[in-house]
Structure 1
């Protein structure tokens, strides 16, 4: 299932990782593990935030994916199922059957 992960990082913990030069490594390791089809980084409600869209094959992946964000960056993490245009079209074509 295609999933959107939103990770809003604690500012002080993220500042520490940026100051000591390890933020890039942490993000790269997470991206290599998750293998997102898209990854975007911005601010949201005043916090550094990552939006990652990826295929989650099993919900048992949630702890493995989210714990580095929780433990190292004090992040608020959410998961939400999402659809691309093809998914929406497929779903709509099945309505009314």
Structure 2
């Protein structure tokens, strides 16, 4: 399944890695290992951040995606399942609406 992974990189240790010149090599190794379909770097809540699209065969693959960010950058990672339009069509929303419409707890 596809997942969106939101990575928030705190100011430290990232600044120290920029200063000592190691950040590019480490990020390159992390990206090479994770092999995201795409990755974009941006600001997030005043910190550096990245958003990746990754293919996750099952939940046991999540640590191999998160740990490089946790261990190298003390990052915060959020995982969200991503649906394509075809996935949404296969969800059969009209059938779910029939089943749950008007049901109140």
Global fold match (TM > 0.5): yes
Q: Which runs of 5+ in 2 are unaligned?
A: 97-105
Indicate the residue corresponding to 1:77 in structure 2.
Answer: 77
Q: TM-score, normalised by structure 2?
A: 0.80
The alpha-carbon deviation at position 58 of structure 1 amounts to: 2.0
Q: Which runs of 4+ in 1 moved over 6 A?
A: none
CA spacing shift, 1:20–1:85, aligned 2, 3 Å: farther
Q: Is the 8 A contact 2:34 2:64 kept in 1?
A: no
CA distance in 2, matches of 1:84, 1:17: 37
Indicate the residue corresponding to 1:9 in structure 2.
Answer: 9
Indicate the residue corresponding to 1:26 in structure 2.
Answer: 26
CA distance in 2, matches of 1:17, 1:51: 20
Q: Classify the secondary structure of the residue corresponding to 1:60.
A: helix
**Aligned positions, number:** 95
Q: Which runs of 5+ in 1 are unaligned?
A: none
CA distance in 1, matches of 2:82, 2:15: 30
The alpha-carbon deviation at position 46 of structure 1 amounts to: 0.4
Name the structure with the higher helix share.
Answer: 2
Larger radius of gyration: 2
The alpha-carbon deviation at position 17 of structure 1 amounts to: 1.3
Indicate the residue corresponding to 2:86 in structure 1.
Answer: 86
